[in-house]
Chains A and B, each alone.
Chain A
């Protein structure tokens, strides 16, 4: 499969060695990469075309920032355009003029309507509202039972008529009930239907007309491919779709369907399903989705984890030390403990954009870390703070103490010094694209930060 977009763009720019304003040919080449990245993320082709056109226009009028590399500029531009198309920020449910607020749930088979309905009910209940669920999926065996059980788990009553045959009538009676009993919200689960099934699509329109809902939410599987445009088109031509629920986002699909859905319906994604538990329904964050579609690594997740793992003041101090190359083994040890809180090193690396190019997987980093730690812990405090002291007999003592070899100790001390120098260069902005790591590995020129 393709590398991340930023990685691919870096490649282009390294090849071109072009700085400053891009010429038209370069723009074309860049747009081709963006097109491929979006297609690979399952954004529907038609939407990709419209989007690329939009980006081209933006690129023409864009100001050139001296502080950014061309790749960074393009990424920034594309990212912003994606967020614009996905909707600028999380948007909640609309309010009804008078209760109950009616929420109609529709979508293809297996997209997760029943689960989404129950999750929504639970969410509304937790906000102090009084929702009622209505089981209008009379098609799939045991669908009613499923909603009843989920409703019980959420502590929300379910209106169900197991022997009924007409979902329109059931919806109507559920509405009357919700009005009569003073429910604040009515969430109507419907049967899954294919967008090409005329009969069932017409039935959906009837249910919609009978209810006149405040919200009609189209449920879409995040793993959906090119078909997303057709689905969005068919459903929004039959009923007035007011928003989308994107489900199964806890998988590893890039979720290009999100873009296709918002582009075609012109409506925001209101919620995201992120797990199998009823509590796993979240507000939708367009900026995160944009990063995900672009395959930019989950920078935001990394930042969140870093925030909770590192003390800010401490980090500032460390940064200062890094800039001046005063960073010691003792600092390294303490920071490594913090880093460990973020999860296995290999996983943390995977979240860094651009790192996918390094053969991280087969380096057994997590297995190697304890050895490095053992070496450092076998140093005296004085040695840790003054690495240049480590010579001769000190080395063999450290090797003995850590159960490693003198050569290993040597290597660590040497690498430490090299990286210290390199980080100093990086942080002072002197290093251009692609610097060499001591191990002979190339660091991606810009890590998308």
Chain B
């Protein structure tokens, strides 16, 4: 297949090598003052350009953080509702029973005999199968090995306890000084932007959030800034009705930034407490669409501040979840993750990797299609449920 194309490839390769060679050589030994100065100038100019773009955003974000400190008394929206909710709902533990069984099975396999080479390998396999990822799994197992040696653990049950500790520590280590509760602005309307790739459950999450906020007596507005997907606004409208929230929408294909901006002004004029902005699903690799997301945020921040940019992540997602989290954070300044579809058999292990590698807190989890099926993320419950 390749033979016929060899000439093209070879020629292309030669050019590429030549260019790399020249460029690399120049970088290593900047030749000639004039050339060097130019390079420096270029870099300086680029830096200046970058700063010019970043400065306002950064200033605004700093402002946002200061404001954040001033509203400590506002707790996360969900725990209260959980207590107030009349019909008893299955606990996360019940819902995770499936994953628990699976994990327990894997673990008992791992801890079947004494602790030996196979134990560690099985343990790593169990973590990998939970989508924790090879890199993070290896790290966890390595840490567990050290810890087991230090404490002289040779018993399987003890090792399990140690693993739970290690997993919780992974969540806790990035949690230091961070709140998993959703942040409100000191002055309404609070703006939460919801982003993610296609089909993760952004609109459904917004519906659940709106319902929860409404139940707590907050006035809620929804911005249908997904103007791309067919009937996305109608889907949101159904949720608005169910949660008695106000919906702001434009024509299909309208500028999503304009929808968000109008919705912000609407929410402010009506004295509503929270504005939830639904955005179109987009693959994180599509630069123009990611730029559009930055723009939505920028436009809203002309008059208000976005206190939360929530990345909605599907629990069935594999290692690509990390790339998603990275790119969305770059484009929209993600402040937290909502892990959806945890009621399936997917373990959502990528959450571990995202927290430990990117330091992004998992704030909420989606555990069903019902309007109440959104819960605060609690690392201890999560890990316990996985391992018990």
A111 CA / B201 CA spacing, docked (Å): 10
Which one, B2, B18, B27, B319, contacts A42 given CB within 8 A?
B319
B88 interfacial contact with A, CB 8 Å: no
Task: Produce 1/0 per residue, A28-39, CB < 8 A to B.
Answer: 000000001001
A410 CA / B125 CA spacing, docked (Å): 56
**Structural contact, B19 and A365, CB atoms closer than 8 A:** yes
A410 CA / B31 CA spacing, docked (Å): 9
Task: Produce 1/0 per residue, B296-318, CB < 8 A to A.
Answer: 00000000000000000011111
Q: Which residues of B contact A404 (CB under 8 A)?
A: 32, 34-35
Q: Which residues of A contact B199 (CB under 8 A)?
A: 109-112, 221, 248
- Nearest Cβ in chain A — how far from B32, in angstroms? 3
Q: Which residues of B contact A150 (CB under 8 A)?
A: 230
Give the number of chain B interface residues (Cβ < 8 Å): 79
B20 interfacial contact with A, CB 8 Å: yes
Q: Which residues of A contact B284 (CB under 8 A)?
A: 251-252
**Structural contact, B343 and A306, CB atoms closer than 8 A:** no
A419 interfacial contact with B, CB 8 Å: yes
A369 interfacial contact with B, CB 8 Å: yes
**Structural contact, A149 and B6, CB atoms closer than 8 A:** no
B98 interfacial contact with A, CB 8 Å: yes
A110 CA / B344 CA spacing, docked (Å): 13
- Nearest Cβ in chain A — how far from B13, in angstroms? 7
A61 CA / B34 CA spacing, docked (Å): 61
A414 CA / B129 CA spacing, docked (Å): 53
- Nearest Cβ in chain B — how far from A84, in angstroms? 16
Using a CB-CB cutoff of 8 Å, which residues 105-156 of chain B contact chain A? 125, 128-131, 133-135
Task: Produce 1/0 per residue, A315-341, CB < 8 A to B.
Answer: 110110010000100001001100100
Q: Which residues of A contact B16 (CB under 8 A)?
A: 339, 345, 348-349, 352, 355
Name, among A150, A153, A315, A339, the residue most crowded by chain B CB atoms within 10 Å (CB to CB).
A315
- Nearest Cβ in chain A — how far from B8, in angstroms? 4
B323 interfacial contact with A, CB 8 Å: yes
Task: Produce 1/0 per residue, A398-432, CB < 8 A to B.
Answer: 00000011111011100110110011000100000
The stretch that binds B, out of A19-27, A85-93, A441-449, is A441-449
The stretch that binds A, out of B177-185, B231-239, B260-268, is B231-239
Q: Which residues of A contact B237 (CB under 8 A)?
A: 142
A438 CA / B25 CA spacing, docked (Å): 7
**Structural contact, A408 and B32, CB atoms closer than 8 A:** yes
Q: Which residues of A contact B283 (CB under 8 A)?
A: 248, 250-251
Which one, A195, A339, A419, contacts B12 given CB within 8 A?
A339
B42 interfacial contact with A, CB 8 Å: yes
Task: Produce 1/0 per residue, A354-365, CB < 8 A to B.
Answer: 010010100111
A174 CA / B201 CA spacing, docked (Å): 28
**Structural contact, A306 and B318, CB atoms closer than 8 A:** no
**Structural contact, A141 and B20, CB atoms closer than 8 A:** no
Given contacts A143-B235, A355-B16, A440-B25, 4 further A-B contacts (CB under 8 A): A42-B319, A406-B32, A438-B21, A440-B24
10 cross-chain pairs, A with B, having the tightest CB-CB distances, nearest first = A225-B318, A110-B199, A439-B24, A405-B32, A42-B318, A407-B32, A141-B238, A149-B230, A142-B235, A319-B7
22 A/B residue pairs, CB under 8 Å, sorted by A: A42-B131, A110-B199, A142-B232, A142-B237, A225-B316, A226-B318, A230-B345, A252-B284, A253-B319, A332-B18, A349-B16, A363-B20, A363-B24, A365-B19, A411-B22, A411-B25, A415-B18, A415-B21, A427-B10, A439-B27, A440-B25, A441-B20
